[in-house]
Amino acid sequence: MTTLDVARTELALAVLYLNKAEARDKICRAIQYGSKFVSNGEPGTAQNVDKSTSLARKVFRLFKFVNDLHALISPTAPGTPLPIVLLGKSKNALLSTFLFLDQIVWLHRSGIYKNKERAEIIGRVSLFCWMGSSICTTLVELGELGRLSKSMKKLDKELKGSDKYKNEQYLAKLKTSNQRSLALIKAAMDVVVAVGLLQLAPKKVTPRVTGAFGFTSSLISCYQSIAVTYAISAFVFINIQSMSHICNGMKQKLIREYHYLLKTLIVKILQRLQHQKDIIVDISAPGTNAFTKD
């Protein structure tokens, strides 16, 4: 591939990433909490950016509660322990409630819903739901990491005498473990952010601390979205390449068949011409008169 092809591919991946509303939301979230870190709760330009970005993000989350509602009623993976299932469903229920109530907060900030006191109460309830979902996510990831650790140790014992880093199953489990560790760190940070937004520990979790944790959590979310985008793109690219090879194979096969048919046709035409030539030679032979009457 040329440099231009590489640049074009990278640009296409960036477009694919930015076309996702989720990705735009995470970028806005990073801007929001970065501004909160800079402002430290003091009035000024940074705080205005924080508030305006927070309001803009709520538009990206319209009807997003349906996603977690669908996950709530969907069946879980077979073999998952009951405590992890219950925690996962609780996370979906709390997150769906948070996203639904957050729409009412957006209606109030947009000037559509006028009851300020009720909107503030709904806003705090929604943040408590988000904190609860983050706590559930933290516990789920801890439980899943424990299960993964046990299965990896068991596989490690089975692979004694061989390089485990060349085993595809072990590498897949290791990759999953790394992903869950990152998700655990993000969920724990989100709990701190929720505590800061609710001002449950204002002396320890200041606006600057909230901004720092929120900004780091947002960067992790952006990285996770990019990883998913690259995985999807790689899958599509591999399938396109496979289809291209299949199409090229079919094309070559059709060309061979065409050449065979063309060759057969030419041979038959030459045979017919040779047969007609033999007839003409027989007619024009000495002592032969085609027009002699009996």
Q: Name the band, by pLDDT with cuts 50, 70 and 90, for residue 156.
A: confident
Three-state DSSP class for residue 41: coil
Q: Is 79 left (phi over 0), alpha (psi -120 to 50) or beta?
A: left
Among 58-72, 176-190, 266-280, the minimum mean pLDDT is found in 266-280
Percent of the chain at pLDDT > 90 equals 45
Instruction: Provide the pLDDT for residue 281.
Output: 40
Q: What distance in Å separates the CA atoms of residue 189 and residue 214, rounded to the nearest whole number?
A: 7
Over residues 7-15, mean pLDDT: 65
Residue 24 binned pLDDT confidence (cut-offs 50, 70, 90): confident
pLDDT at 245: 52
Q: What is the pTM of this model?
A: 0.72
Rounded distance, CA 33 to CA 56, Å? 13
pLDDT at 49: 93
Instruction: Say whether pLDDT at 70 is over 80.
Output: yes
Query: What per-residue confidence (pLDDT) applies to 168?
Result: 87
Statement: residue 182 has pLDDT above 70: yes
Burial of 136 (0-12, 13-18, 19+ CB in 10 A): buried
- Out of 61-75, 182-196, 225-239, 249-263, least confident range: 225-239
Tokens of 185: 């760190």
Residue 116 confidence (pLDDT) above 60: yes
* Better-scored residue on pLDDT, 44 or 2: 44
User: How confident is the prediction for the chain on average, in pLDDT?
Assistant: 80
**Per-residue pLDDT, 18:** 56
DSSP category for residue 74: S
Model confidence over 73-88: pLDDT tens digits?
888 888 889 999 999 9
CA distance 145 to 163: 23
pLDDT top residue among 236 and 212: 212
Task: Please say whether the beta carbons of 186 and 30 come within 8 A.
Answer: no
Q: What's residue 270's pLDDT?
A: 60
Say if residue 37's pLDDT is above 90: yes
Can you give the residue ranges of every domain in the chain? 20-240
Whole-angstrom distance, CA of residue 265 vs CA of residue 278: 20
What's the pLDDT at 287?
46
Residue 2 has pLDDT above 50, yes or no: yes
Pick from 86-95, 106-115, 237-246, 279-288: least confident? 279-288
Q: Are 18 and 24 in contact (CB under 8 A)?
A: yes
Instruction: Compute the CA torsion angle 35, 39, 42, 48 (nearest 10 deg).
Output: -30
pLDDT the model gives residue 223? 86
Tokens of 34: 């970065």
Residue 112 CB neighbour total at 10 angstroms:
9
The DSSP call for residue 60 is: H
What the block records as the tokens of 209 is: 């601390």
| Six token digits for residue 271 | 């045979």
Examine the pLDDT at 133 and tell me if it is beyond 80.
Answer: yes
Q: How far apart are CA 39 and CA 20, in angstroms?
A: 29
User: pLDDT band for position 60 (50/70/90)?
Assistant: confident
DSSP state of 43: S
Mean pLDDT of 241-261: 57
